[in-house]
């Protein structure tokens, strides 16, 4: 049996369409089977509500008198991009305020949607047609000509979950990750998420009408970084029609601003295949847990995991039970599915056939870089000393060789480090004896193949000025100092 979208829309208009949420559909297909379910059900509503940094809005502010061709523009001190026509600008949700902490583009958009005014400030160089050089005014959504939410990448089909093998707390876009595999975080809503219910992108495509933050919006293509089955969507919608309850400005501590975006997508059940797709279960949706303790692009995969395990709240890593935080709101996703079901049931929302398909195959390439500079290329020979070296002798070595750091080595292995500051402290306190008594034992070190940016961040985080370079057996190969690195990175 095959239905067309027009037939389904006819039923919607007549108030006869059978609309169910994705959560309900799983049960229906299990009970009736795909063939029968496809006859019974016309539309399945899906939903997601996650922090989506790749979001923002286009504005057209109208012309001032005398007119201005904006060169730079700020909304509540958050800069928007105006390298387009005179009074058009794009405000990204992740852009941060230049004056207020923990406030960004997402907060500006939220204030506007709540009906509040924001300050608009712009500067320009002045032309014959646009003589004005600056303007400061207040605007609300009512005052601007257009306010269009346009999100380059939303509705991730699935996403890598995160954990942290390192020994310090990490503040990331995946939330706060506790040390030593202390927790796991994940994003996406699994079996109720739009793209997981249409994995071949048969009905979700260019032109699909969607629910976007309480308004009607549209899919305008595949999103950036679209790489099935990690598919994404580019979407747009009228900001003026959006409702504050279906979006939320957020600030991930130590990371930055972002926006929780509420998206709902109706899926027409055209045939038994579509019924089968929408019956997908969390246990069939797999992703990877990756280790953010390694600050590289290719972070190690800790293990594979299903959304069922993630949603259960506990996963096993190295034989230990680790607690899990979702970062997408299942409560809000459910609310969106139900709201979209209501709207379709009331005949307020009809379906669209895609004008074009989005790709079912696409790879996500890494950045082409000139070179990746690694520690090996900047490290210098390290003078090492045994822990039984008298403090005076270490001091003499530092002066003779012009050094500020001496790694301490025992049986070929790094066991400590002393700095000129440690020696100065020992002298000030009239402390005599061996280096072992004054050295720092918990040494922060680096590896020859570590990128220099990673080494520099280690020094900055720990407020230190040098790192011994060691091999996998902790044998000292050399040393890098912050002066060497800053010269290289600044270049």
Smallest gap from Cβ 184 to other proteins, in A, equals: 7
Q: Residue 406 in contact with residue 387, Cβ under 8 Å?
A: no
Which of 94, 204, 212, 249 binds other proteins (CB under 8 A)? It is: 249
The phi, psi pair for 483, rounded to 5°, reads -65, -45
Confirm or reject binding of residue 303 to other proteins (CB under 8 A).
Answer: no
Using only C-alpha atoms, the chain has a radius of gyration, in whole angstroms, of 29
Per-residue contact string for residues 395-434; x = within reach of other proteins by CB under 8 A: ----------------------------------------
Among 224, 192, 222, smallest CA distance to 207 is for 222
Quickly list DSSP for 77-120.
Answer: TEEEB--SSTTEEEEETTPBBSSSTT-BHHHHHHHHHTT--EEE
Residue number, 195 or 250, with CB nearest to other proteins: 250
- Least Cβ distance, residue 248 to other proteins (angstroms): 5
Q: How far is CA 156 from CA 47, 96, 416, in A?
A: 11, 24, 46
Stretch that binds other proteins, among 112-120, 180-188, 398-406, 408-416 (CB under 8 A): 180-188
Nearest Cα neighbor of 118 from 130, 132, 104, 134 is 104
Applying CB under 8 A, does 325 fall inside the site for other proteins?
yes
Spatial distance between the Cα atoms of 323 and 327, rounded to a whole number of angstroms? 13
Q: Between 182 and 229, name the residue whose CB sits nearer to other proteins.
A: 182
If the CB atoms of residues 260 and 445 are measured against other proteins, the closer one turns out to be 260
Query: Is 329 an interacting residue with respect to other proteins (CB under 8 A)?
Result: yes
How many positions of this chain bind other proteins (CB under 8 A)? 31
CB of 334 to other proteins, least distance (A): 6
211 touching other proteins, by CB under 8 A: no
Nearest distance in Å: CB 164, other proteins: 11
**Sole binder of other proteins in the list 331, 366, 442, 472 (CB under 8 A):** 331
Query: Smallest gap, in angstroms, from Cβ of residue 178 to other proteins?
Result: 7
> Which member of 54, 76, 196, 328 binds other proteins (CB under 8 A)?
328
Interface positions, 147-176, toward other proteins (CB under 8 A): 175-176
Binding to other proteins, residues 250-269 (CB under 8 A):
250-253, 258, 260
Task: Report, in Å, the least distance between residue 344 CB and other proteins.
Answer: 23
Residue 490: which H helix or E strand, with range?
helix 482-490
CB of 328 to other proteins, least distance (A): 6
Nearest to 175 by CA among 271, 71, 258, 62: 258
Of 178 and 397, nearer to other proteins (C-beta) is 178
Q: Choose between 334 and 453: whose C-beta lies nearer to other proteins.
A: 334
Pairing of strands 146-154, 233-238: antiparallel
List active site positions.
129
CB 93 within 8 A of CB 53: yes
Which residue, 90 or 246, is less far from other proteins as judged by CB?
246
Q: Please, are residues 438 and 430 in contact by the beta-carbon 8 Å criterion?
A: no
Q: Rounded to an integer, what distance in angstroms lies between the CA atom of residue 121 and that of residue 309?
A: 49
95 binds other proteins (CB under 8 A): no
Residue 117 binds other proteins (CB under 8 A):
no
Task: Tell me the three state secondary structure of residue 275.
Answer: helix
Residue 117 has a CB neighbour count (10 Å cut-off) of: 15
- Separation of alpha carbons 303 and 184, rounded Å: 12
Looking at the Cβ atoms of 73 and 322, the one nearer to other proteins is 322
Structure tokens at 387: 């822990």
* Alpha carbon distance 224, 232 (integer Å): 7
Does 51 interact with other proteins (rule: CB under 8 A)?
Answer: yes
Count how many residues are written for the chain. Answer: 491
The residues binding other proteins (CB under 8 A) are 49-51, 102, 175-176, 178, 183-185, 248-253, 258, 260, 313, 322-332, 334
């Amino acid at each position: 049996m095959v239905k067309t979208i027009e037939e389904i829309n006819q039923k919607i208009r007549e108030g006869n369409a059978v609309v169910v949420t994705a959560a309900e559909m799983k049960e229906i297909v299990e009970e009736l089977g795909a063939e029968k379910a496809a006859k019974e059900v016309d539309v399945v509503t899906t939903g997601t509500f996650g922090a989506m940094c790749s979001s923002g809005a286009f504005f057209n502010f109208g012309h001032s008198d005398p007119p201005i061709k904006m060169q730079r523009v700020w909304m509540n001190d958050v800069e928007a991009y105006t390298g387009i026509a005179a009074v058009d600008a794009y405000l990204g949700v992740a852009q941060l305020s230049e004056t207020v902490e923990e406030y960004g583009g997402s907060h500006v958009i939220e204030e506007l949607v709540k009906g509040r005014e924001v300050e608009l400030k712009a500067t320009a160089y002045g032309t014959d047609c646009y003589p004005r050089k600056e303007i400061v005014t207040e605007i609300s959504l009512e005052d601007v000509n257009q306010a269009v939410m346009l999100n380059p990448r939303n509705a991730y089909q699935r996403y890598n979950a995160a954990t942290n093998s390192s020994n310090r707390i990490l503040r990331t876009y995946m939330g706060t990750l506790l040390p030593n595999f202390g927790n796991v975080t994940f994003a996406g809503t699994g079996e109720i998420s739009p793209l997981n219910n249409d994995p071949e992108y048969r009905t979700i495509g260019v032109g699909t009408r969607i629910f976007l933050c309480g308004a009607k919006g549209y899919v305008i293509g595949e999103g950036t970084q679209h790489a099935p089955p990690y598919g994404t969507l580019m979407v747009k919608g009228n900001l003026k029609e959006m409702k504050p309850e279906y979006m939320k400005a957020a600030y991930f501590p130590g990371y930055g601003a972002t926006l929780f975006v509420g998206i709902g997508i109706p899926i027409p059940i055209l045939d038994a295949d579509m019924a089968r797709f929408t019956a997908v279960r969390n246990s069939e949706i797999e992703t990877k847990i990756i280790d953010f303790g390694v600050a590289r692009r290719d972070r190690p995969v800790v293990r594979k995991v299903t959304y069922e395990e993630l949603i259960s709240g506990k996963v096993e890593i190295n034989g230990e039970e680790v607690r899990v935080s979702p970062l997408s709101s299942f409560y809000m996703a459910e609310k969106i599915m139900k709201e979209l079901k209501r709207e379709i049931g009331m005949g307020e929302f009809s379906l669209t056939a895609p004008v074009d398909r989005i790709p079912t195959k696409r790879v996500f390439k890494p950045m082409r870089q000139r070179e990746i500079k690694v520690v090996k290329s900047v490290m210098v020979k390290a003078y090492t000393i045994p822990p039984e070296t008298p403090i005076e002798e270490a001091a003499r070595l530092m002066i003779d060789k012009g050094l500020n750091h001496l790694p301490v080595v025992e049986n070929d292995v790094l066991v400590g480090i002393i700095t000129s500051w440690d020696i100065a402290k020992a002298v000030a306190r009239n402390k005599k004896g061996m280096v072992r008594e004054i050295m720092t034992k918990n040494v922060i070190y680096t590896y020859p193949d570590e990128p220099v940016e990673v080494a520099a961040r280690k020094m900055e985080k720990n407020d230190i000025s040098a790192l011994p370079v060691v091999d996998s057996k902790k044998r000292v190969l050399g040393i890098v100092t912050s002066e060497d690195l800053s010269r290289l990175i600044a270049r």
